[in-house]
Amino acid sequence: MTLWLIMALWFFALPLAVGSWMLLMGRRNSRLRRPPVVDRSGQPLASIPFTYSDGETVDLIVTGEGPAILLVPGADGMKETFRYQIPALSQSHRVLCADLRERIGADMTFERLSTDLEELLSAHGVRRVTLLGQSLGGAVAMRFAARHPERVDALVVANSLARVSYGHVGLNAVLLVPVAMATIRYLPTAVSRLIARLWSRLNVWVFDSSPGSDRVIQYVLWSGPRTVHPGTSGGRVDLLKREDLRPELAGIRAPTLVLKGPLDRYTPVAWSVEIAELIPGATYLEIAGTGHCSHISMPELFNQTLLDWLSRIDRPQVEEDDE
């Protein structure tokens, strides 16, 4: 009788308890509010709603003056991923940064994300732009640059990918990624923070062992994956799963910078090297000691590398329409 009771608890009570806990943590995550992006004086930057032609509305930040630069987030899709880039770049550029769309319809294709960029730029009178895409955002930026070469002054892709592949998954740290995701999303914050330090030492998922590793931990706890339903970020990735952008990279004509965190195992170094080799004249540079979130863990080095490169390339100066 005791054995049957133990088995009943194991097969019924335990899954129920785990499911209830995950539901509780999911509700906690849905109530989180991301810290605002602030300017160089520490004042929050206002965001405005922007509605695409199909009715999807996203939040957008527009700040600064000068040549336009559009920042495209990764799969988690929040503009706050660029909290360290927006104030720095706005000193010399007109910066536009919007969340990625949340609604991914069954009939939607990856091309829609590129169309979103075109609609946003056109609505704000931007004829030519520098694109900076992080991770999945880099893939969106590459598609846009290939489809609209006349509108792109320069292209920067950071820790990005041209296709979704699982060939690098083996008996290595990549196998720990689902575990790392779960410990962030479904454990109490204090416990998540403690375990995240282990993931940082092991360079698992978006974490790295750089001196700025605590910035990434803070990001995932309060701005990143916790604040986005996994089905939303997964839906964005699924759009790219149907594509292989590599054949169209040779058609990109804009000066291109491929930035890479050499400790990144989530999107391997080889993927960025391949992108740099396929885009004519592309420059490949590493942000030493960083991983997948170079722009967060070592933002000063990331920003300076980016700005130094932008200052060296030749870009046509085109007067923009008034917003």
What value does the mean pLDDT take over residues 193-211? 97
Identify the pLDDT of residue 166: 87
pLDDT tens digits for 79-116? Answer: 999 999 999 999 999 999 999 999 998 899 999 999 99
Judge whether residue 71 has pLDDT over 50. yes
Query: How far lies 41's CA from each of 38, 70, 216, in Å?
Result: 8, 22, 22
pLDDT band at 19 (very low <50, low <70, confident <90, very high): confident
pLDDT the model gives residue 172: 79
pLDDT of residue 318: 42
Main-chain phi, psi angles of 155, to 5 degrees = -130, 130
Q: What is d(CA 89, CA 299) in angstroms, rounded to the nearest whole number?
A: 12
As a whole number, mean pLDDT of residues 261-281 equals: 97
Say which residue, 5 or 249, is predicted with more confidence.
Answer: 249
User: Can you give the pLDDT at residue 174?
Assistant: 85
CA-based max dimension of the chain: 82
Per the confidence metrics, is the pTM higher than 0.85? Answer: yes
Tens-digit pLDDT profile for residues 119-156: 999 999 999 999 999 999 999 999 999 999 999 999 99
pLDDT at 193 over 60: yes
The pLDDT of residue 8 is above 80: no
Helix, strand, coil percent values for the chain (each to nearest 5) = 45, 15, 40
3 state DSSP class of 259: strand
User: pLDDT, tens digit, for every residue of 273-319?
Assistant: 999 999 999 999 999 999 999 999 999 999 999 999 999 986 544 44
For domain 59-169+215-312, give the CATH superfamily: Alpha/Beta hydrolase fold, catalytic domain (3.40.50.1820)
Q: What is the 3-state secondary structure (H, E, C) of 284-321?
A: EEECCCCCCCHHHHCHHHHHHHHHHHHHHCCCCCCCCC
**pLDDT, position 14:** 67
Split at pLDDT 50, 70, 90, the class of 16 is confident
pLDDT tens figures, 37-58: 999 999 999 999 999 999 999 9
Checking if the pLDDT of 320 tops 50, the result is no
- 26, 232 in Cβ contact below 8 A? no
User: Is the distance from CB of 91 to CB of 231 less than 8 angstroms?
Assistant: no
Average pLDDT over residues 205-218: 97
168-172 mean pLDDT: 78
Q: What is the mean pLDDT of residues 226-231?
A: 92
More confident residue, 1 or 2: 2
Mean pLDDT of the chain: 93
Percent of the residues in the chain that have a pLDDT greater than 70, as a whole number: 93
**Can you give the pLDDT at residue 322?**
39
